[in-house]
Amino acid sequence: MTGRELLDELEAQESRLVFDRFDEQIAWQLGVALREAGLAAGLPITISIRRNGQELFHAALPGASADNDGWLARKSAVVDRYGRSSLRVGEEFRVNGGSFDTDSRLDTRVYAAHGGAFPVLVRGTGCVGTIAVSGLPQLEDHRLVVETIEAVLGDLRPA
């Protein structure tokens, strides 16, 4: 897959994965689903779900470390700043021939445009928070978050 194809897919995900509402119950449902998927696969991940700066869910699974919390914060900061997934932001810089770390002029101790943080997008409102995973290679972190959002949105939609 080319960089442009990946970017197109990331943009499509953000257009598709939109909540009608987002509250503590939905955050819990997402967090539990991510935790269960991680435990079932033996993944050494840390999970964070935030809304407007408030952490609604946090879990660290066996094998994860405090470093993962740092990655969660830095990836989530990118989503908060750009309103797009951390993977998409990094890919936009790459497709345009640059590097987030050097071309964004942002402090890399605060921001990391690596996959794994996805915006909580609410229809008619926009980005209200982040759903983030750290502990795997960036594409796998991103994929786990996206697949879980897709599953939970499927459960929330009326039959």
Q: How confident is the model at residue 2 (pLDDT cuts 50, 70, 90)?
A: confident
Tell me the pTM: 0.96
DSSP 48-89: EEEETTEEEEEEE-TT--HHHHHHHHHHHHHHHHHSS-HHHH
Q: So what's the pLDDT on residue 33?
A: 98
Enclosing domain of residue 69: 3-156
Q: How far is CA 129 from the centre of its chain?
A: 10
Q: So what's the pLDDT on residue 159?
A: 66
Q: Considering its fold, how many domains does the chain have in total?
A: 1
Return the axis-axis angle of helices 3-16 and 86-95, rounded to nearest 10°. 150
The tens digit of pLDDT for each residue in 8-42 reads 999 999 999 999 999 999 999 999 999 999 999 99
For the domain that residue 56 is a member of, what is the CATH number? 3.30.450.150
| Average pLDDT over every residue of 64-90 | 98
